[in-house]
Structure 1
Amino acid sequence: MSSEVLVSRPHYDSRAVALGVPERETPGKDLQPSSGSATAGYRSAKYSPAEWFSNYHSILQQASRDRSQARSIQRESRTLNQDTEAATVETQAQGTLLLGQRLQEIHYWKSELQQHIQQLLAHTQALLALKTRLEKALDATETPYAIATDNLTCRSRRPGPDLVLDPVEEELLKEVDLIRSVQALLKRTTAQVVTQIKMNREAQQTLESDWSDKKQAYSWDVTSGRHSNTSRDTQLHPGSASMQDQVSNCTSWTKFTQDNLTKASQEQQASHSLRMLVERVLQDTTDDLRTQSSSVDRAFSQRCAQLVEARTQLEMKHAQILEQIGDQERNIVCVQQAIQDKEAPLRVAQSRLYLRSLRPNMELCRDLPQFSLEGEVRQIEASVASLQQQLIEARSSLSHLEESRLTLEKDITCKTHSLLIEREKCMTQRKRYPPVSALAGY
């Protein structure tokens, strides 16, 4: 031990220094150490009794304070643990409940989207079927158009006297104009159907995209709802609670889906209206074409009946003319024979007059026989002249009868040819007219 005199040191509380508590004054720090050379080698104590008492009393007090503070912190910790546990359980339960409600809401809108997608798909399929019917109906009109134009072409080859603008010609022209109008209408309607199909598919694609997003969101929320405190697939994501950029709120989220559904409903209504329009167009065009076809057929039947009646009358008149020609020819022969029969009496009378003109002198007398012979000659010559005039008239009549015969035969041939065109070519070809089902697109 050092023989130097030990002086007292101030007491430093290391805990107070560590805790930042101001240093307490050590009692008796102003006390002077005892002096004396005789006890200098035995003075090994660092503190006085008062310091010793003060030191352990301060240690006891500090321990009491620390114990009291620890108990307070423990009480607060237990209370805080209970409160935070209850709050955590409540907020987790609330989050789970809200996730369940959100899942129900997503499922509802997803079901609505699915329903409208199916409805749009059904409308689109129906429009595709109507588009096929319109195309078939348009193709079916080519046959009536070809028939009508061919009928007009065939009838243009009728002989001159029968080349008239009759009711058949008028009905055929009406039919050609009607078919052209129907074709134009069917083309416009087909274009409308194609446009509506495109709009339906765009709306369906929008709904399918929304439905796909909701399906994925539903899947994530289902997975989120299944997480619990004992789940092993959970981990910390410190930045997940921060607000993401360009996120929607509940109002905009609902409005987005409602707008899509509203647009889909509008397209469905438009598709329904267009389907009704197409059905009405197909029905009206079919009825119009069949009605006009019936009008043309009736006109053809009436025209054929007129041609048959006209040909029958011509044939009857032709038979009468032939009979009259025969009678006239026989009449000419009779008149010629009558003229020839007058030649002998005329020769006799003229011969008598000639011989009597040879009488000599006073015998050349204009007696009664002379007068009678002269009258006979005049009478025979007048008869021959009348007969010759009658012969000329008979021959002229025969010539006229022959001309009438030729005219009748030409007209009969004309009517026969026209009837062949009308009945054998045109009406036979019109039997190929498409049925109602083909004109309706089936």
Structure 2
Amino acid sequence: MEFLGTTQNASYCGPRKTCSFNEPLDVQAPVMQECYQPYYLPGYRYLNTWRPSLFHKVSTAQICPEEGATCQGVQKPPTILPSLRAGLFCRYSPHDWDRSHEMQMRGAEASRLWAGRLIGDSMRLMQDKDQLTHQMQEGTCRNLGQRLSDIGFWKSELNYELERLLNENRGLDAIRKRLECAADEVNCPLQVALECLYHREKRIGIDLVHDNVEKNLIQEVDLLKCCQEQMRKLAQRIEIQMRDNRDAQHALERDLEDKNSAQFIDEKCFNLRNTSDCISFFHGVEKVDGTISVPETWAKFSNDNIRHSQNMRANSIRLQEEAKNLFETLSDQMWKQFTNTNLAFNARISEVTDVKNKLQMQLAKVSKREASQDRCPLCHTLTFLPWSQQHLAMLSAHPCH
């Protein structure tokens, strides 16, 4: 219970001490802090740490009425104080009141200063972060622009290489069709040569001779079959090369499709702004590493595809040149053999014609001689034998002898 006109921090409410006017007063100075405490109002936290100076001075100078000396112990205040004395025992002095308000003002000023500093620091932090964000966005935009430039470069290279590879495939396919068609067309002269050999087997007797015509026909048949085999083998090689070209074409198309997808994504990211619509926040997406390559291996992959396609095109060009040379070589050989066979036929025909003419002339002479009717000189009988045979008959078996 607290008595009227007293305070709990009064000297007589504390431990027992001697009352003396010569002892120095132990007044605790108020403690001031410049930091702001959010749970206490500035100035009110330290009001209970100091005591009123006026009441302390009056209470320490009391004289005991009974003993006429200074009180050595704690005196209990009277229950009812006179009105005049109650005015002297007030809690605080004007100086305390001024100091309290001064402390409140200082606390408010300190809080205001700390709030101003905090606002300034916040503004500087916001400006720094905004500037840093702006710089990072500019750097990201530059990187995205460079990335789009690289993707565009490799896309153009892939498109150019793919177009050249498709042209080589079309040319190679045309050469293959020409080879197959030429191999099929060789069947006609081959069939003619075999037909000639078959018909020449119908010769009779001494005319069944292994002459130069038959040799050339056999050479022509062998040459035509060899030409067919060479053209078909080359067509098979071209077919294998076209399959390899299609593999390279598939790799280029797949790489080009990936480049188109990456370019679409990067263009969308490049065109994003802070005021763009439908922007969402994905927490932790920067920590996800879904890449499988670095820029060096990424560029090397496309470069390897282009180099593989170039090698396939070089092989296709070599096959086309080989096919053209084969066409020229086989054409010359077949034409030369065809000419030799025709010359052999002409020579053989001329020989046969000469022999035939001679035989016909001889046959005509013989027939003329047989037509003349001569008589035997011994018996004057008719004989139709030639003179050579007539003499033999006369000498051997004629009945007239």
The answer to whether the superposition gives a TM-score over 0.5 is yes
CA deviations on 1:274-309 (whole Å, 9 max, x unpaired) are: 111111112221222222112111111111111111
- What SS does structure 1 have at the residue aligned with 2:376? helix
Equivalent in the alignment of 2:376 = 334
1:38 corresponds to 2:80? yes
Equivalent in the alignment of 1:27 = 49
CA drift at 1:273: 1.1
Is the 2:2–2:8 Cα contact (8 Å) retained in structure 1? Answer: no
Give the alignment partner of residue 331 of structure 2, picking from 286, 306, 310: 286
Counterpart amino acid of residue 135 in structure 2: E
CA drift at 1:334: 3.4
Equivalent in the alignment of 1:393 = 392
Equivalent in the alignment of 1:76 = 121
Residues in 2 aligned to 1:258 and 1:45: alpha-carbon distance in whole angstroms: 97
Is the 2:255–2:302 Cα contact (8 Å) retained in structure 1? Answer: yes
The total of aligned residue pairs comes to 344
Q: In 2 relative to 1, CA 238–339 (structure 1 residues): closer, same or farther, beyond 3 Å?
A: closer
Which is further off, 130-139 or 54-63?
54-63
- What SS does structure 2 have at the residue aligned with 1:71? helix
Is the 1:8–1:47 Cα contact (8 Å) retained in structure 2? Answer: no
1:186 corresponds to 2:266? no
CA drift at 1:54: 4.3
Q: In 2 relative to 1, CA 390–90 (structure 1 residues): closer, same or farther, beyond 3 Å?
A: closer
Which runs of structure 2 are paired with 1:14-413 in the superposition (5 Å)? 16=37, 18=39, 26-28=48-50, 35-39=77-81, 52-326=97-371, 330=374, 333-338=375-380, 392-393=391-392
Q: In 2 relative to 1, CA 391–28 (structure 1 residues): closer, same or farther, beyond 3 Å?
A: closer
Q: In 2 relative to 1, CA 395–141 (structure 1 residues): closer, same or farther, beyond 3 Å?
A: farther
Counterpart amino acid of residue 79 in structure 2: S
Q: In 2 relative to 1, CA 108–339 (structure 1 residues): closer, same or farther, beyond 3 Å?
A: closer
Is the 1:8–1:29 Cα contact (8 Å) retained in structure 2? Answer: no
Which is further off, 114-123 or 93-102?
93-102
Residues in 2 aligned to 1:395 and 1:106: alpha-carbon distance in whole angstroms: 117
Cα RMSD (Å): 3.5
CA drift at 1:103: 1.0
Whose relative contact order is higher, 1 or 2, with alpha carbons under 8 Å and at least 6 apart?
Answer: 1
Residues in 2 aligned to 1:266 and 1:110: alpha-carbon distance in whole angstroms: 19
Q: In 2 relative to 1, CA 47–287 (structure 1 residues): closer, same or farther, beyond 3 Å?
A: farther
Between Structure 1 and Structure 2, which shows a larger proportion of helix residues?
A: 1
Q: In 2 relative to 1, CA 53–278 (structure 1 residues): closer, same or farther, beyond 3 Å?
A: same
